[in-house]
Amino acid sequence: MLAFRGDASYFTQTDMSLVKEGDREDAAKIQAKIRELRAARGVDAVEQCTLPLASRKINAANLMQEVKLVPNGWISLAQYQEKGYSYIVP
């Protein structure tokens, strides 16, 4: 499972006008990697926390189809940890 929250949320949505011009090339690469990972064996989910969307003016309708919107990313992470997954912080 891969979870997005905070400013990383800009990279899970398709409205490139919200992404800084200098970050758009990287955003496209990240979105391609999200698609690749979502199709990969062993990747259960790619999730986006709902909480940061409003403050960043991100419309949930513009999320990539490969990304699942969850009410709270922290709660989702904790639920995965209960199932035996590990939380890795970059």
The CATH number that applies at residue 28 is 3.40.1260.10
Rounded Cα gap, residues 28 and 16, in angstroms: 9
Grade residue 67 by pLDDT with cuts at 50, 70 and 90: very high
**Does a structural domain hold residue 42?**
yes
Q: Mean pLDDT across the stretch 54-75? A: 96
Nearest to 56 by CA among 30, 3, 26, 20: 20
- pTM, entire model: 0.85
pLDDT, residue 59, reads 97
pLDDT for position 44? 83
Residue 43's pLDDT band (boundaries 50, 70, 90)?
confident
The domain tally of the chain equals 1
Asked whether residue 87 is domain-assigned, the answer is no
Residue 86: is it exposed, middle or buried by C-beta count within 10 angstroms (0-12/13-18/19+)?
exposed
Bridge partners for 45 per DSSP: none
Averaged pLDDT score across all residues of the chain = 93
Q: Residue 66 in contact with residue 38, Cβ under 8 Å?
A: yes
